[in-house]
Structure 1
Amino acid sequence: MGNVDRLNRQILTAYWIVAAMVIAVDSTYFFSGANAEEGHSPSSLLTRILLILGIAGLGELLYASFRRYGRQIVVGISLTMAYINYLNLSAYTESSPGILLMFPMFVPLIYFDRRLLDGFGVSNIVLYTAFYFLVERPFYERGIEDFALRVLMLAASLLLGRLVLIRALEIGRQVELLTQAQQDLIVDKAVSQRLLKTDALTQLYNHGTFYEYLEDLVDQCMRNGLEIQVAVLDIDNFKKINDTYGHLIGDLVLKEVSIRIGMIVAPNDFAARYGGEEFAVIFTEKTIGESAEYTERIREAVQSANYSYMGNHPVTVSVGISAYEPGDTAETLFGKADGALYRAKRSGKNRVELYDAGRDTLSVRD
């Protein structure tokens, strides 16, 4: 609605510009003395000026009062102004240019409204017919051939307008279909890329995507001093869960753990299923202490979750965490967190351990 209002406002403003141009031309032509012999008086000039200004003002008043009929008002005012200008020119010429009466036929094209075009096109032909027999024929003695030519021009302009509008609507539909097809391709591409980047079971990022992101962040650490931490989480005794309850229950446990991780990590962090029962998280914009607190919350959330589908058997995770240090690569940073994870496993499981170079062995995986 707002776009239509702006369009209507622009057209009404254009009418004021047209009115100003008509008044300027009319006044210049009058004061040049070209028609002094015809007896045109200043009062007739003033009347024409007031008439054209009154029509433009009437359009403003009607639009302000009946905005819901804005299109009809705008087209109606254009039709009225066309006939006023047509009459004004009749004061100076023996044969007014009928093209003036054709202009209102094309205003509805701006709105792409076929009904509006047909309605005002037919109205224009009927109005000119009445105008000819009531004004032009008795007062200006215009011949019937002029009438036939004007009607033919108006009918032709209506037909041309309809053809232009039909073609414009067809092009619009084609553009819409192309746009929709392009949007569908973009969506399909996004879905495909997501499928390539995520783990199907847990909907977390997969192993390959994790390493791509980790390598990019390590590069930022080297270049810009970014601080990141990596946590590696492993579900304790997961093989026993699979052996006791079956792989279907094991999959449910993996989903539950991934949900708990996703609920706790911050929007700027990166969680992935590294493989099997193992998960990895990259923490950004945090200190090592803050990241350790996040991993502790994840551990507690996993432990307190409801695993009713396996008789509320407890599920826990062990976590190793390490911070980036100058000289680290993506592999060594992950390896330090993995070494801390092994210590957490050896120390009784269900715990979070920070990497300690004096106690942990750097783990390197393929």
Structure 2
Amino acid sequence: MKYWRKYHPEINVDDPRYHQVSLIYSILLIMLAYFSVIGVLNVTLFDAAHIAVYDFSGFVLIAGIYFYVSRGSNFTVAGWLVTGTLIFVLLAFIHLAEGRNYSLIWVTILPPIAFFLHGPRAGAWVTGIVFAYCGWFFYEQLNRGIPGDLSLGAWLNFIEVATAQLFLFRYYERSRREAYEQLQTTSVTDPLTGLYNRLHLDVNLNTLLSSSRHKGLNLSVLLIDVDHFKKVNDEYGHLMGDRVLCAIATLLKEAVRECDFVGRWGGEEFLVVCPETDSKEAMTLANRIVESIQSQPLVEDIYATVSIGVAEASNNTNLTAEGVLHLADKSLYMAKSRGRNRAISMLSADSFDNALSNI
């Protein structure tokens, strides 16, 4: 486990911020080590106390940023602080060396960090401005006749490499982000219906249930099962059965609100998670779904019906995600036992048992 997780336990490996935060802490630790070691060397070995003051000042600045990052979670501000400090260090080093001893080569570490922390657009601006300044500084040194390894050829090489880096890292970072977004979409999506998959539904149900309980609000779920779906597969084939599932998925997406989560629970079952919704409102939605599906052919001349179990996690109960799903499953069983093509809501397991005894 990353050591910085003790400061930010809420950031897991699947969090989009995980690698960004890891890079921020890595840069800070490297800079802390750099300033402390070089500062000591400048005092003890090189007799350059004036440069050591700069090194120790940098150490204090980086330590302050480290403290800020470890005590907060505004990683956008932290990222800019790290980038700004890195630019200051690089440019200060280049000025102190007057461009000699290949000091300009250090500025090439900026692009991957800037693009990773700030994205293709901001990264391109930051890198472009710094590279343009370095090119101007290099050219001014040539005009002043600074001796050493500075030459017009070296200046042209720097311009070429800087331009290539700017475009290459911008392209790489944009491609990386697009690939990551595609991977995220694939990881939470059912490949057949395009709805959320069960894993994503599980995660969101737990999150929404916790949020609803914290706000003192209700949450309801609808567990939906396609009636006699095996007959559809047997009579029309599995490919046609898949088209029926996709048609039902489309109707579900059209029926729910923007704040609701709808996904494929498995096989011919679907789940709708309705935050800030009580059982009465959920039943209204469930009955609308039942009516919508039974009233029209789904694929060509194929009709189907669904049974729906509704369950509510009210703000005065301690139902877990597993508990509310269990209650929805019991309600679905009741809908099946009463003839299918209907929605049933059970407020508790006791109400289910009482209703079952009256059948």
TM-score range, shorter chain: 0.5 to 0.7
Does the CA-based 8 Å contact 1:207-1:275 persist in structure 2? yes
The two structures, once aligned, show a CA RMSD in angstroms of 3.4
What does 1:95-174 correspond to in 2, within 5 Å? 167-168=158-159, 170-174=161-165
Structure-2 residue corresponding to 1:296: 287
The structure with more radius of gyration: 1
Check 1:300–1:172 CA distance in 2 against 1; reply closer, same or farther (3 A cut): farther
Aligned to 2:22: none
How far 1:278 moved relative to its partner?
Answer: 0.4
Q: Is residue 2:215 matched to residue 1:224?
A: yes
Distance in structure 2 (CA, Å) of the matches to 1:330 and 1:186:
33
Checking the alignment, whether the CA contact within 8 Å between 1:229 and 1:323 is kept in structure 2 is yes
For residues 77-108 of structure 1, what are the alpha-carbon distances to aligned partners after superposition, in whole Å with 9 as ceiling and x for unaligned? xxxxxxxxxxxxxxxxxxxxxxxxxxxxxxxx
Q: How many residues in Structure 1 have an aligned counterpart in Structure 2?
A: 214
Aligned-residue offset at 1:192:
1.4
Q: Give the TM-score, by structure 1 length.
A: 0.51
Instruction: Judge conservation of contact 1:336–1:361 (CA < 8 Å) in 2.
Output: no
Shift of 1:351: 1.0
SS in 2 for 1:191: helix
Q: Is the 8 A contact 1:339 1:361 kept in 2?
A: no
> CA-to-partner distance for each residue in 1:266-320, whole Å, 9 max, x for gaps?
12111110011000000013333222222222222222343343xx232111111
Superposed, 1:229-308 pairs within 5 Å as 229-308=220-299
CA distance in 1, matches of 2:185, 2:210: 24
Unaligned runs of 5+ in 1: 1-109, 113-152, 154-159
- Rounded to whole Å, the distance in 1 between the matches of 2:333 and 2:231 is 18
SS at match of 1:306: coil
- Alignment match, 2:90: none
Aligned residues of 1:288 and 1:323 also touching (Cα < 8 A): yes
Match of 1:313 among 302, 319, 342: 302
For the residue of structure 2 that corresponds to 1:360, the secondary structure is helix
Q: Aligned partners of 1:307 and 1:257: how far apart in 2?
A: 7
Structure 1 residues 278 and 361: alpha-carbon distance in aligned structure 2, compared to 1, 3 A threshold: farther
CA, structure 1 residues 346+166, in 2 after alignment: closer, same or farther (shift >3 Å)? same
Distance in 1, matches of 2:169 and 2:295, equals 51
Deviation at 1:332, TM superposition (A): 0.7
SS in 1 for 2:352: coil
Match status 1:188 vs 2:179: yes
TM-superposed CA distance for 1:355, in Å, is: 1.4
Distance in 1 (CA, whole Å) between partners of 2:298 and 2:252 is: 16
Find the aligned partners of 1:306 and 1:169 in 2 and give their Cα distance.
64
Are positions 1:345 and 2:336 aligned together?
yes
| Equivalent of residue 332 in structure 1, options 315, 323, 336 | 323
Q: Is the 8 A contact 1:254 1:277 kept in 2?
A: yes
Q: Answer yes or no: is 1:179 the counterpart of 2:158.
A: no
Which residue is equivalent to 2:50? none
Verify: 1:360 aligned to 2:329, yes or no.
no
| Pair 1:227–1:168, CA change in 2 (3 A) | farther
SS at match of 1:234: strand
Match of 2:198 in 1: 207
CA distance, structure 2, for counterparts of residue 204 and residue 231 of structure 1: 15
Query: Are the structure 2 counterparts of residues 305 and 173 from structure 1 closer, same or farther at C-alpha, using a change threshold of 3 Å?
Result: farther
Identity of aligned residues (%): 32
Quick check: 1:340–1:356 contact (8 Å CA) kept in 2?
A: no
3-state SS of the aligned residue for 1:350? coil
> Match for residue 92 of structure 1?
none
Q: Secondary structure at the match of 1:349?
A: coil
What is the Cα deviation at residue 163 of structure 1? Answer: 8.3
